[in-house]
A and B are shown apart, each in its own frame.
Chain A
Amino acid sequence: AQKVTQAQTEISVVEKEDVTLDCVYETRDTTYYLFWYKQPPSGELVFLIRRNSFDEQNEISGRYSWNFQKSTSSFNFTITASQVVDSAVYFCALSEDTGRRALTFGSGTRLQVQP
């Protein structure tokens, strides 16, 4: 069965620090999709990125970057020069191609960025 583990429950940093959120996944499918979502205090789930299992290229979007490594089943998320507005709960999630297509979420990492 599929599983997503976010071992960091809560991280607190000071503004302008870099921070990396870890995500480790388990799946038997050879084709799968990995996601990151941001959930600010207002509660909505904001889509950040999707990666499929055949695309191991790292991605950078502004201050955000993602490192996907199939060898270690990890999909880590780094925020560079963090800002107070980055404070939120961040969820990593997995969708399988032939197994469960609905998202299986990790337990989330609460990021607090102090001014």
Chain B
Amino acid sequence: KNQVEQSPQSLIILEGKNCTLQCNYTVSPFSNLRWYKQDTGRGPVSLTIMTFSENTKSNGRYTATLDADTKQSSLHITASQLSDSASYICVVSEAGGGNKLTFGTGTQLKVEL
């Protein structure tokens, strides 16, 4: 069964600090991996999409890494801001056509003063 597991489940950090969120998956065959940010009461917003051949991808202060061999990904947030407080969801797409996305349950990040 295709699964996406994220850790930690929740995280509290001080403003200005860095943090790294983890994602492990068993989805196969693999197509791509996405990280979404979901603010409370809002829909998910895409941060990055990475294919099999991409090891790292940045979007401003967000940097995602992918190790397709170990089936692991991370999302690193640099110099966190209060507005980074949200749920971060790892989503893996299965190859072969069709909308076969497997969502992780997310990491709830809270950035405090």
Please determine whether chains A and B interact with each other in the same assembly.
Answer: no
Give the interface of B toward A (CB within 8 A): none
